[in-house]
Amino acid sequence: MKYHFLLVLLISYSFIKAQCPQVVWEDNFDGSALDMTKWNIQLGDGCDLGICGWGNNELQFYQQENVEVSDGTLKIIAKRESVGNKAYTSARITSKGKGDWTFGRFEARLKTPSGKGMWPAFWMLSSTEPYGGWPQSGEIDIMELIGSEPDQVHGTIHFGSPAPNNRSATSSFLLTEGTFADRFHTFAIEWEGSQIRWIVDDFVYSTKISSVTGGSRWPFDHNFHFLLNLAVGGNWPGFPDGGTVFPQQMEVDYVRVYDDFLPTIKGSRFVEHQATSINYQVTNLPDGSNVSWSVPDGAQIIDGQGTASITVDWQAQGGLIIARYESPCQIDSLLLQVAVAPVFEQQLVLENFDDPANLIYNSSTGMLVDEALNPDTNGVNASTLVGQYTRNSSELFDILVYDVEVLDNTGPFIEDEKRFFIDIYTDAPVGTLILLQLENSGRSQPGNYPVGRNSRFEAKTTKQGEWERLQLVFLDQPDVNTNNATIDQAILLFGSNTNLGSTFYFDNFDIHAPAETVGSRSPINKPLHIYPNPTSDFIFLDGDLLPSIQSLSLINTNGQEVYSLKNRNVKKAISRLELAHLDQGLYLIIVRHRNGSISTSRFVKI
């Protein structure tokens, strides 16, 4: 979904008094070399520590030469060059023994690289390991990014038993315009006794409390130190391909530690059309602070003006929320850009038990009555015929399997550009989970979860014994290696992970899209213009459809996919494709666009 969005800025002119947050450690990288009183440079490939490839099958050899301080910033540079039996070099620095802390605000302002295989990180590790080696004594990832998704960062804590029984909890922050490589952003955590909060540009996007460990130790109660590094390749980001350009760099403006927390803003950055009663608040304000709010035209503050928390009703347009506050410490303004979603309308009926279905029944572990009488025609659903499904109470993960051919790309559903809705009537308890799982049947087999499970969507019931309309909201991608364009099965799990024997009536299982796109069509198989062709090293892609590209694949004459690129900013990465690594021969390019249309072209590699 296109949100015209994302700015969270702190505009500040401040005066500091006693009792206000103080900087207790910082590096502004103003010199011409790394300050070795604050940092250590780690070298090698991890083998000397017993973790070759740094425990993640990474491809880089860390060396001092890849650290540069100039023009007021630190540059950690990744290069394609062979050192120490590795094909790439990069750098990793730590503050261990020179900067170690327990609790406070920890932040860096930096700009990331992009490209498949790039893995920049700003993180913290235990300095003394009082509870044992990794991850027993904890790890805090303030910011991680994988280069194939340059508009999304992740904040994570690691804990639990030694690998492979280690555990983690993570949250993500997504830009809706641009990438983290476009400009500097501030990444921070606020860390106190039993809670850690993750912040991007003074917006709190995630909070983890001690109960998240689920009975494992919460090890975040002692000194930790900083690490800044740029890895190349690895289990998570994948490995560089022909589209990855070198050298790459992570550029850091500053790193700071505060002894207390700074004011931040909380609230919904994404709201539905005509959303009501949406709360926004400024946190960490000193006593005696005054706050004045303003909202965009069309929005209305219905409660809280003059306090640290307001409630807002929205209409059709988003815009800036501004919280100007005066405190004993400073006079600041926090700005948050809010995006309002478009109106969604029905685009395609998957199954309504009245019209021809776009789903084909395959199998189930419970009992399906395909055209049952509606138990309550006076409610939300007045249809005569509906589906009736009774769970098999002996199955924790009872499944209803449909074959489907109309889901040619799950990307728009994952990105919230399209949505699934379903009507439900059940005798199951309120709060019962309903899952939709989209799969590739050629990869998913009983007992091999999560292989082949491309994406999952969830809803929870809010009523019992009456109809309700539910949106199935994107949950996760259990198997990111299952291509979004290869889904041929839709699995419904009613009351997943329970032994309920409840009956679920369902109907109007639909796909919705923004109103302006419903009924619109884009040409299929529009050509892409490629030059030079034939080519030996690279090709350029051009054409009117280029800005709309969602994914790209190269197929050889044996039908094998030899290259693929799938991310939200693919159009930025593929205007030039590097092909030196490919064998000579004829190749087919298949491009899928955000609206589901397809473009193809061919070229010859010589």
Q: Which two tokens stand for residue 568?
A: 């939200």
User: Hey, do 264-340 and 529-605 end up sharing a CATH topology, with the first three levels equal?
Assistant: yes
Q: Which two tokens stand for residue 18?
A: 């006693």
Mean per-residue pLDDT, 159-178? 88
Contacts of 561 (CB under 8 A, 6+ apart): 553, 554, 555
Q: What is the CATH number of domain 264-340?
A: 2.60.40.10
For 495-541, how does the pLDDT look when each residue is reduced to its tens digit (9 = 90+)?
A: 999 999 999 999 999 999 988 755 443 333 445 667 787 888 888 77
- Residue-level pLDDT at 354: 85
For 215-268, how does the pLDDT look when each residue is reduced to its tens digit (9 = 90+)?
A: 899 999 999 999 999 999 998 899 999 889 999 999 999 999 999 999 999 999
Q: What is the mean pLDDT of the chain?
A: 88
Q: What angle do CA 99, 105, 106 make, to 5 degrees?
A: 50
pLDDT class of 563 with cuts at 50, 70, 90: confident
Rg (CA), the chain: 26
- Domain 344-514 bears CATH identifier 3.40.50.720: no
Q: What angle do CA 171, 172, 176 make, to 5 degrees?
A: 155
DSSP per position, 209-278: EGGGGTTS----SS-EEEEEEEEE--TTT----TT--SSEEEEEEEEEEESSPPPEEEE-SEE-TT--SE
Q: Which two tokens stand for residue 437?
A: 């799982």
For 379-399, how does the pLDDT look when each residue is reduced to its tens digit (9 = 90+)?
A: 789 999 999 999 999 999 999
Closest residue by Cα to residue 546 from 518, 573, 582, 520: 573
Q: What is the CATH number of domain 22-258?
A: 2.60.120.200
pLDDT class of 19 with cuts at 50, 70, 90: confident
Q: What is the CATH number of domain 529-605?
A: 2.60.40.1930
516 noted as active-site residue: no
Residue among 58, 139, 190, 351 flagged as catalytic:
139
Q: Phi and psi for 48 in degrees, rounded to 5?
A: -65, -15
351 noted as active-site residue: no
C-beta separation of 121 from 144 below 8 A: yes
- Residue-level pLDDT at 3: 38
191 has pLDDT over 90: yes
Euclidean distance between CA atoms 57 and 233, whole angstroms? 7
C-beta separation of 592 from 548 below 8 A: no
Question: What percentage of the chain reaches a pLDDT higher than 70?
Answer: 89
Domain ranges across the chain? 22-258, 264-340, 344-514, 529-605
pTM of the predicted model, to two decimals? 0.70
Euclidean distance between CA atoms 364 and 20, whole angstroms? 62
Three-state SS for 90? Answer: strand
Residue among 68, 107, 144, 251 flagged as catalytic:
144
Three-state SS for 451? Answer: coil
User: Strand 503-514 and strand 319-326: pairing?
Assistant: unpaired
30 has pLDDT over 90: yes
